[in-house]
Amino acid sequence: MALVGGGGQAFIGRVHAIAATLDYRATLVAGVLASEPERSRQAAVDLGIASDRAYGSYQEMLETETQRPPDERIDFVTIATPNSLHYDMARSALDAGFHVMCEKPLTTEARLADELAARVDDTGRVFAVAYIYSGYPMIRQVRDMVRSGELGEIQAVRVHYIQGGLRRMQPDQTPERAAWKLDPAQTGPSGAMADIGTHAFHLLRFTTDLSPMDVSSHLATYHPVRPLEDYGHAVLRCARGQMATITASQVTHGRLNDITLEIDGSTGSIVWRHDHLDRIVLRRHGQPVQVYENNRRADYLSDGYRASSRLAGGHPEGFFEALANLYRGAFDDMWRCASGEKPASAGDSYPSVTDGCEGVRFVEACIASSRTDGWWQPY
């Protein structure tokens, strides 16, 4: 495994390092941890990477690694950098023959995302996008239940992603660690929608079969430091008349990372909240409410749940394990590739490049709709 990003105080790179190795199926052996070469190398060494594989730039890394003997080179690259760098890095890694785990949003433009998708097709490499929340066992339980028809026909879905972290950033004292998130040159043309709205959109797509046909969105900017929207709302009309609504806020005081997923089916409804990530509430009219808890030995839980839970019932798992589950799926596909098979579980046990493309298109449709007061087609 090679890691790009994650040096200094960067949050998500380090999370990848831990999650990817949690199951003893990968080892971190190379990295480019910061944009400045010297700092990059030092950060890599601090993380236990051998100094000859602590690189100063990703170009250097790809060149050097491809020259190592096949069984001594990295197998995949994890990209955890500001959004604007994803495209170049991912494309280069694919071209160099490596598998890729890339942070979201996949790119800053849908056009570039499509190019990446084409490259994945051409190279046959495994490509995963880090929509981490789809790695929670209970989210997989929801997906399995919807698929097997336990809720009947899905009719309406509500996903609310509410944060308040932007409130900590004051005009003159934004922490360096997060500064890039306020710079459109690095984030792309969207703020809250790209950052968290795409997570909400992916949860909708991952857990249900709804096909959004057009989007009506309204974006707003409330906090002084943000040049882009920090609050957004979207209504999605789907192929068979279903309706989905998505809310993304980064300015709700004191809300840390609250995600609510509510699915209304013709024979049952489900609520999942990030606050209680390993619990879902299933309701059917006239019956007692049913709560599914983290108990991987329980017969009522789906295979998807059990395959992604590591601990005995009642022992809490969290964010690291969710990402580790995406890696698990990607590793299975990498093994398939290694033995000449095709990747088989993209989009299923880990988010695919197509999921990444859809996310970027959703963001673009929201921006267009908000600007014109009209309905736009996401794809």
Task: Kindly identify the residues of this chain, within the stretch 163-222, that bind a second copy according to CB under 8 A.
Answer: 163-165, 167-168, 216, 218, 220, 222
Measuring CA to CA, which residue among 37, 49, 38 is closest to residue 3? 49
Residue 222 or 379 having the CB closest to a second copy:
222
CA distance 360 to 375: 17
The stretch near a second copy (CB under 8 A) out of 80-88, 142-150, 271-279, 328-336 is 271-279
Cβ at position 147, least distance to a second copy in Å:
18
Residue 241 or 340 having the CB closest to a second copy:
241
Residue 375 or 379 having the CB closest to a second copy:
375
What's the start-to-end Cα distance of the chain, in Å? Answer: 34
Which residues 60-99 are close enough to bind a second copy by CB under 8 A? none
Among 282, 346, 357, 360, binds a second copy (CB under 8 A): 282
The stretch near a second copy (CB under 8 A) out of 106-114, 123-131, 255-263, 344-352 is 255-263
CA distance 161 to 87: 26
Measuring CA to CA, which residue among 155, 268, 142 is closest to residue 206? 142
Cβ at position 200, least distance to a second copy in Å:
14
Q: Is 264 in the site for a second copy (CB under 8 A)?
A: yes
Which residues 1-20 are close enough to bind a second copy by CB under 8 A? 11, 15, 17-18
Which residues 103-142 are close enough to bind a second copy by CB under 8 A? none
Residue 235 or 307 having the CB closest to a second copy:
235
CA distance 373 to 216: 7
The stretch near a second copy (CB under 8 A) out of 51-59, 84-92, 115-123, 227-235 is 227-235
Residue 69 or 316 having the CB closest to a second copy:
316
Q: Is 160 in the site for a second copy (CB under 8 A)?
A: yes
Say if residue 312 is exposed, middle or buried (CB neighbours under 10 Å; 0-12, 13-18, 19+): exposed
SS3 label, residue 273 = strand
In Å, how far from its chain's centre is CA 49? 26
Residue ranges with strand state E in 19-149: 30-32, 76-79, 99-102, 127-129
What's the one-letter identity of residue 129?
Answer: V
Number of residues that bind a second copy (CB under 8 A): 86
Pairing outcome for strands 269-273 and 258-265? antiparallel
Residue 11 or 338 having the CB closest to a second copy:
11
Measuring CA to CA, which residue among 127, 134, 143 is closest to residue 78? 127
The stretch near a second copy (CB under 8 A) out of 104-112, 194-202, 252-260, 334-342 is 252-260
Helix (H) or strand (E) holding 220: strand 212-220
Which residues 359-378 are close enough to bind a second copy by CB under 8 A? 373-375
Cβ at position 320, least distance to a second copy in Å:
7
Residue 47 or 117 having the CB closest to a second copy:
47
DSSP state of 282: E
The stretch near a second copy (CB under 8 A) out of 37-45, 90-98, 238-246, 346-354 is 238-246
In this structure, the number of other CB atoms found within 10 A of the CB of residue 203 comes to 27
Residue 172 or 299 having the CB closest to a second copy:
299
CA distance 58 to 246: 36
Q: Is 335 in the site for a second copy (CB under 8 A)?
A: no
The stretch near a second copy (CB under 8 A) out of 70-78, 183-191, 264-272, 357-365 is 264-272
Indicate if the alpha-carbon torsion angle 42, 43, 47, 51 is positive or negative.
negative
Residue 290 or 377 having the CB closest to a second copy:
290
Which residues 306-325 are close enough to bind a second copy by CB under 8 A? 310-321
Tokens of 359: 């996310």
CA distance 18 to 376: 40
